[in-house]
């Protein structure tokens, strides 16, 4: 029976489809890391020059961190909901549910 189950899992279109999305979101995550580095450097420079952080950049970094979290939860099978652009972008003020909860279960 294990052999049949294995064969079914390997040939499952659902699993291969998720694999393709996982590769896609892995690439997106790889591309986001330099953006995070730029945000960190810009905020650090602003603190040195003005003595405070920029609220717009801070909000952007909060949204970016939430997006990264959604990608990681999807990649690690903790959530089945595909992140943006397959679901609406949620900013800090839009979020009703906590990260890690799965609305598709």
Give the rounded distance of the alpha carbon of 83 from its chain centre: 6
Query: If pLDDT is split at 50, 70 and 90, which confidence band does 95 have?
Result: low
Q: Over the stretch 54-66, which tens digit does the pLDDT of each residue have?
A: 999 999 999 999 9
CB 66 within 8 A of CB 42: no
What's CA 59's distance to the chain center, in Å? 16
Average pLDDT over residues 63-70: 93
Cβ–Cβ under 8 Å, residues 61 and 84: no
Number of alpha carbons in the 13 Å side-chain half-sphere of residue 24: 12
What are the sequence ranges of the domains in the chain? 23-91
């Amino acid at each position: 029976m294990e052999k049949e189950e294995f064969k079914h899992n390997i040939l499952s279109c659902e699993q291969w489809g998720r694999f393709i999305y996982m590769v896609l979101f892995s690439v997106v995550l790889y591309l986001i890391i330099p953006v995070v580095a730029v945000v960190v450097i810009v905020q650090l420079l602003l603190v040195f020059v003005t003595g405070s952080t920029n609220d717009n950049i801070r909000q952007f970094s909060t949204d970016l961190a939430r997006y990264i979290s959604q990608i990681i939860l999807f990649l690690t099978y903790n959530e089945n909901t595909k992140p943006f652009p397959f679901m609406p972008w949620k900013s800090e003020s839009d979020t009703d549910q906590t990260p890690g909860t799965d609305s598709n279960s």
